[in-house]
Chains A and B, each alone.
Chain A
Amino acid sequence: MRQKQHIVQRYEDELLHLRSLMEQMGGLVEHQLSLILAGIAENDGRTALQAARQDDEVDALEQKVETLAIRLLALRSPMAADLREIVACIPMAGALERMGDYASSIARRLSQMEQPLPRPARLALSEMGRLVLEHLRRIMDALAHKDANAAHAIWAADQLVDKYCEAMTADSLEQMTRHPHTIRLHISLLFIIRNLERIGDHTTNMAERVVFMVTGATLPPTRPHGHDSQPLPPGQESPSP
């Protein structure tokens, strides 16, 4: 699992530190999502808002990852697996930072709700949020264990999130048509759904980087998408893995 020992101990330490920073970032974003889930379940905007407060920390960590990665590249001239790992960390930190942004956006929206979310919407959001969080957990584990197969599985599984997003959007639209006085609430809900779906998309970006980091191969540019009902234009059909 662990790489061969590097002769320069300092280099080894810096690599470990880089990995630890990535872990910390992942842990923070996971915690943000957990807080949001708790906020949704308890209908408590303040719990959710704690997630927004962690955003600065995520941003700071992204900066640290970037600086350290560049430092490693500049000073240690890493090769092969190390090189791929260090290079992959930069966009992965970027993806995590974006997820953090989406999470705080959801948190703010939840705390600014004028009327409490209806119970079915809360149950559905918890379900979708849990799915997204589970994918994030799996990709962070895949990164830690350098497991390309697991990463690939998550890359393909994100279509579940897409489908969920689509189902909830359809439901919201129907509700809005039926009960126009809930439009305000449903617009907020749509934004939250959309943000969750974007977090899911970023987990697939990370999955691509993990596969690259471990195998050196890149995944096809389009992945299986949940939008089966809308046929893709020819030539964009995603090749099945």
Chain B
Amino acid sequence: MASPLLPEIITAICACLALTGWAMVWHLSRRPHGTTRPDSPRPSAPPPGSVLPFHEATLLVDTIPGMALILGSVGQIMACNEAARTHYGNSLGALLRHPTAHSTLHSALHAPPMDDGLPAPCSTTIRLDVPVKCSVHLAMRRLPGAAGRNSLVLVLLHDRSLIQAVDRMRADFVAHASHELRTPLASLTGFIDLMKEGGDQTDQTSRTLYLEIMSQQATRMQRLIDRLLYLSQLEMKGHHHPREELEAEELFALVLGEVTPRFQHDSRRLTVTQEDSLTLLANRDEMVQVLLNLIENAIRYGTMPERTLHVRLHARRATPAEGPTSSLPGLLITVEDNGPGIAAHHLPRLTERFYRITPPSDSSHAEAGQGTGLGLAIVRQILERHGGQLHFTSTVGQGTTCHVWLPAAPLPQDQTAGK
């Protein structure tokens, strides 16, 4: 006996099948076409009537000779060319989530078409403090055609850091120089006055002493100015990571050549050790500067009257835990001294500009007063540019160790086997 409900059941089944079929077709049709690079996000379906289909837009970004990217309607990166990626790398995220960038994107998305039919361009300049100080000009224009949630905005980036850096350099230089030069200048003027007042009555010994001090102060001023300028120059090229390969052996030989005269003193000893075939990605001159500054500090603040100063320079491969990210191979260079050590509360602030530890009166050393307070700031600035890291460990009474982590150059296999 046929159930009176049979026609209804059949209709229901048919309806279900139709629905499922429709859903499948709909879903399949929405799948992105073609494959994209693994790191580029999935393209959205080309909107109907689009003037510039998405894959062409991506191609456009790659073709642009300069830094460019394409943003989606909520600010997500849809495509980004190699130039922008390599130049801004870590800054890109911070740049795009900056409130000004966000409001510019909003204006670009809703810009009315101009006379030529293209949406009006919008632009802004953004300054970032981290990871490196930079200033970037963003120019945005909505790509014509797509609308609403499928809108795409082309962004061109121009680096304005240099202009900003020059401005800041001038301001910084005036501020620091006017402050830091005051003390040596006062001392100089003091002695000049003293000698003028004394006239011919100043005896030869005093005269020699005064001149000696004056010359020291003048040297200090000179060095301060040099270092301030050097630091500003380093800041200006903060964005360019050095890519040159440098052998640790070569680096140490250069450093040794520079510092050996300072260790001819009987009360000073320098030991240099390193593992075989260590290659880093670094600028040679700057790395020499780093090590010279660190060794100079060891001599300046590590010398104790009753003890032979022993400075050890050592380079080795870093363990993954020692680097900023565990995935990156690195080298660890340490500069160790057996000086009086540094109290723990000074350690975090050592690289601060003009931060000086007032030396205890008993170990006050003629050279300690010669410091500019910029040596370690320079070291840190150089290391930041290299993607390196610097930290200190110290035990009061036993000595201080500076640990410098630097990215290692990827070594070809045959070269490692050869040594």
User: Which residues of A are interface residues toward B (Cβ below 8 A)?
Assistant: 1-2, 5, 7, 9, 13, 16-17, 19-20, 23-24, 26-28, 30-31, 33-34, 37, 54, 57, 119-120, 123-124, 127, 130, 133-134, 137, 140-141, 144-145, 149-150, 153, 160, 163-164, 166-168, 170-171, 226, 228-229
Contact = CB atoms under 8 A, between A and B. Distances in A.
A140 B131 CA distance: 13
Contacts of A28: 99
Contact of B348 (A30, A54, A163): A163
Interface stretch (B53-61, B90-98, B202-210, B290-298): B90-98
Contacts of B94: 27, 30, 137, 140-141
B44 to A, nearest CB: 9
Contacts of A170: 345
Nearest to B391: A160
B349 A127 contact: yes
Nearest to A42: B171
A24 B94 CA distance: 10
B326 interface: yes
Nearest to B323: A153
Given A134-B130, A229-B344, A149 B76 contact: no
A52 to B, nearest CB: 15
Given A120-B354, A137-B130, A140-B97, 13 more contacts: A5-B30, A5-B31, A5-B42, A16-B72, A24-B99, A27-B96, A34-B129, A57-B99, A124-B352, A130-B130, A140-B93, A141-B90, A229-B344
Contacts of A31: 98-100
A167 B347 CA distance: 8
Contacts of B129: 33-34, 37, 130, 133
Contacts of B41: 1-2
28 contacts: A16-B72, A16-B76, A20-B75, A26-B97, A27-B97, A27-B98, A27-B99, A30-B94, A30-B98, A31-B98, A34-B128, A34-B129, A119-B179, A119-B354, A120-B355, A123-B353, A124-B352, A127-B349, A137-B90, A140-B94, A141-B93, A145-B93, A149-B327, A150-B325, A153-B324, A160-B348, A167-B345, A167-B346
A1 B77 CA distance: 12
Q: Please classify the interface of chain A as helix (H, G, I), strand (E, B), loop, or mixed, using the class held by over half of its residues.
A: helix
Contacts, number: 105
Contact of B349 (A16, A17, A23, A167): A167
Contacts of B345: 166-167, 170-171
A33 to B, nearest CB: 8
Interface string B38-52: 010110000000000
A152 B31 CA distance: 35
Given A123-B355, A130-B130, A137-B130, A20 B349 contact: no
Nearest to A23: B97
Contacts of A130: 129-130
A141 B97 CA distance: 10
Given A16-B76, A137-B94, A127 B352 contact: yes
B149 interface: yes
A193 to B, nearest CB: 12
A54 B353 CA distance: 31
A32 B217 CA distance: 42
Interface centre among B31, B74, B326 (most CB of A within 10 A): B74
Contacts of A2: 41-42
Can you list the 9 inter-chain pairs with the closest CB atoms, starting with the nearest? Answer: A27-B97, A20-B74, A134-B130, A163-B348, A23-B97, A141-B93, A164-B348, A167-B345, A170-B345
B324 A24 contact: no
Interface in B338-377: 344-349, 351-355
B102 interface: yes
Contacts of A7: 27
A31 B127 CA distance: 10
A196 to B, nearest CB: 13
B355 A124 contact: yes
Contacts of A20: 74-76
Interface centre among B27, B30, B129 (most CB of A within 10 A): B129
A149 B326 contact: yes
Contacts of A149: 325-327
A144 B93 contact: yes
Interface string B190-213: 000000000000000000000000
Contacts of B100: 31
B355 A16 contact: no
B139 to A, nearest CB: 19
B236 to A, nearest CB: 17
Contacts of A133: 129-130
Contacts of B127: 34
